[in-house]
């Protein structure tokens, strides 16, 4: 179940908001300029569906975002608990960073924790299957796939070269809860 917890950046111990109600999550994030929505596949998707089938199942929603936001490329990424480099990949995303473009992820399967640090607040968003999140360009954030990652996501990019991070060198991420899966 998707979940949003909001903290003041100075207090990682006591949340000021916490909810699993998707309407409440959507409203809180909208006020912060963060897009979240739910997608449903246009067709049945087998557990072992390949990347082409995954894209085809969500092509209508992808096309809508491309028309609306001008994204140029998209792909499918998966991470499993048995991946030999999972710890290195997790560490890479756990440091606060920004991007020159939106970071757009749709969770086809599994879960991931996006944490946004904006205007003195920290928004910890547990995204699950069927959740799309769009972190606006230049927004400070980090991502935690947890110690036992298990997700498949569609990524959309403005930049054909894909994901380019600009790290802030702020150690704030270490002060807030991580994903425990």
**Domain containing residue 46: CATH number:** 2.60.120.10
Q: What is the mean pLDDT of the chain?
A: 95
Q: Across residues 25-35, what is the average pLDDT?
A: 97
Instruction: Read off the DSSP letter of residue 111.
Output: E
Burial class (CB in 10 A: 0-12, 13-18, 19+), 118: middle
pLDDT, residue 112, reads 98
pLDDT tens-digit readout, 97-116: 999 999 999 999 999 999 99
Nearest to 3 by CA among 91, 109, 119, 126: 126
Q: Looking at the domain assignment, is residue 38 inside a domain?
A: yes
Q: Across residues 76-90, what is the average pLDDT?
A: 95
**Structural domain tally of the chain?**
1
pLDDT tens-digit readout, 115-169: 999 999 999 999 999 999 999 999 999 999 999 999 999 999 987 666 788 999 9
Segment (H or E) for 118: strand 103-118
Instruction: Read off the DSSP letter of residue 167.
Output: E
Q: Looking at the domain assignment, is residue 176 inside a domain?
A: no
Q: Looking at the domain assignment, is residue 107 inside a domain?
A: yes
- How far is 106 from 5, CA to CA, in rounded Å? 20
CB-based contacts of 61-67 (< 8 A; 24+ apart in sequence): 61/106, 61/132, 62/154, 62/156, 65/104, 65/156, 66/156
Would you state the structure tokens that stand for residue 55, as one six-digit string? 């894209």
pLDDT, residue 106, reads 98
Q: Looking at the domain assignment, is residue 178 inside a domain?
A: no
Q: Looking at the domain assignment, is residue 135 inside a domain?
A: yes
Q: Across residues 1-16, what is the average pLDDT?
A: 96
Q: Across residues 65-79, what is the average pLDDT?
A: 95
Q: Are strands 131-135 and 166-167 parallel, antiparallel or unpaired?
A: unpaired
Reported pTM: 0.94
- The pLDDT of residue 42 is above 90: no
Q: Which domain holds residue 41?
A: 3-170
């Amino acid at each position: 179940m998707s979940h949003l917890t909001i903290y003041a950046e100075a207090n990682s111990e006591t949340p000021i908001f916490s909810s699993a109600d998707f309407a409440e999550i959507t409203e809180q994030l909208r006020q912060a300029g963060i897009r979240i929505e739910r997608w449903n596949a246009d067709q049945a998707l087998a557990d072992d569906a390949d990347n082409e089938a995954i894209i085809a199942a969500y092509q209508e929603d992808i096309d809508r975002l491309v028309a609306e936001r001008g994204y140029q490329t998209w792909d499918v990424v998966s991470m499993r608990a048995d991946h030999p480099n999972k710890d290195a990949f997790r560490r890479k995303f756990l440091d606060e960073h920004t991007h020159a473009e939106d970071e757009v992820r749709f969770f086809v399967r599994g879960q991931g924790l996006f944490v946004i640090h904006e205007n003195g607040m920290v928004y910890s968003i547990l995204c699950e299957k069927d959740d799309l999140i769009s972190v606006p360009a230049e927004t400070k954030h980090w991502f935690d796939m947890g110690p036992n990652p298990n997700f498949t996501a569609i990524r959309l990019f403005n930049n054909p070269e894909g994901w380019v991070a600009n790290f802030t060198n702020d150690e704030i991420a270490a002060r807030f809860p991580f994903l425990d899966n």
